[in-house]
Amino acid sequence: MNRISVSGVVLAVWVLVALSAPWLPLHPDRISLPAILDTPGMASWLGNDDLGRPVLDRLLIGARTSFWVAGCVVSLSLLAGTLVGSTAAYLGGRWDRVLVMLLDVFMAFPGILLAIALAGLLGPGIGNLVLALSLVGWVGFARLARAQVLSLKRREHVQAAQALGTPTTAIVRRHLVPLIAAPLLIEGTFAVAAVVIAESGLSFLGLGVQPPEASWGSMIRDGVRYLLVAPHLVLAPGLSLFLVVLSVNLLGDRLRDRLDVRGEQA
């Protein structure tokens, strides 16, 4: 199996676990004092944490958390960024200048630091986490949509639609968005990996998913204290995070090569 096939298997397992987790016989919050810091074995495949909770069960629930956060954030960011960027670029003039100024303000701050600041202001919780990451994530989609629309709005078919009196919203929806779908798809793929890392990072800092809900980031945070005596507490969520992010990036590279986005932009 090549690396693309392996990444596809990893992503398929991730999605399957995320969708089926509510119906699996999992007990991520069941405390068992005699099983505290138990190593992996037949009774518990990935061992138990500092409260005796099964690491495997919490790992699967953490997969669902990262999947739904990534799906919600990327969907909201893609929708908002594409709408704002493409509309401003098509209208041009002051609308485009305002968008460029707004993008410059957001780009002046590192994305993860801005997300930490927003999450701190909004407060911890998965809802506020999605909102904070969405407020940061739309910028990349808006920049890409704006650049693509600026290069397409002078095409003959767009000018023909304008001459026929087609409404602006219809032109953007029918003649521009389909042509920029491929670059946006690639951007969305890489955004999934970025959101998975950001969600884990914010949960590691205590600004994301709150106990007793499981998250890969919070599992790593809780396991760091016992790294020398129970390394499985960190290795299990850390390796899962690594495999998912690597697989998503490999998928994005494959899609970019298949759709030849770089060749079209060149």
Instruction: Give the pTM.
Output: 0.88
When the pLDDT of each residue in the chain is averaged and rounded to a whole number, the result is 87
In a domain, 250, yes or no: yes
In a domain, 39, yes or no: no
| Better-predicted residue by pLDDT, 4 or 54 | 54
Question: CA 90, CA 96: separation in Å to the nearest integer?
Answer: 8
Q: pLDDT tens digits for 63-89?
A: 999 999 999 999 999 999 998 888 888
Question: CA 189, CA 261: separation in Å to the nearest integer?
Answer: 13
Phi, psi of 222 (to 5 degrees): -70, -30
Q: pLDDT tens digits for 163-201?
A: 888 887 788 778 888 888 888 999 999 999 999 999 999
Q: pLDDT at position 57, please?
A: 94
pLDDT of 257 > 50? The answer is yes
pLDDT of 94 > 80? The answer is yes
Q: How many domains is the chain built from?
A: 1
Q: pLDDT tens digits for 13-36?
A: 999 999 998 888 888 989 988 889
Which DSSP category does 48 fall into? B
What is the CATH classification number for the domain harbouring 15? 1.10.3720.10
Our CA angle for 78, 79, 82, nearest 5°, is 75
pLDDT of 265 > 50? The answer is no
Q: pLDDT at position 264, please?
A: 45
Q: pLDDT at position 194, please?
A: 94
The contacts of residue 128 (CB under 8 Å, 6+ apart) are 119, 122
Nearest to 125 by CA among 196, 205, 208, 200: 208
Question: Could you give the count of Cα atoms lying within 13 Å of 195 in the half-sphere of its Cβ?
Answer: 34
DSSP lists the bridge partners of residue 54 as 48
Which DSSP category does 38 fall into? P
In a domain, 154, yes or no: yes
In a domain, 192, yes or no: yes
What is the extent of the structural domain holding 94? 3-21+28-34+45-265
User: How many other C-beta atoms can be found within 10 angstroms of the C-beta atom of residue 237?
Assistant: 29
How far is residue 115 from each of residues 80, 110, 129, 248, 265, measured CA to CA in Å? 17, 9, 8, 21, 30
User: How many other C-beta atoms can be found within 10 angstroms of the C-beta atom of residue 54?
Assistant: 23
Question: CA 63, CA 14: separation in Å to the nearest integer?
Answer: 7
In a domain, 109, yes or no: yes
Q: What percent of the chain has pLDDT over 90?
A: 42
In a domain, 54, yes or no: yes
In a domain, 40, yes or no: no
Q: Assess contact for 50 and 56: CB atoms under 8 A.
A: no
Question: CA 206, CA 222: separation in Å to the nearest integer?
Answer: 11
Q: pLDDT tens digits for 224-242?
A: 999 989 999 999 999 999 9
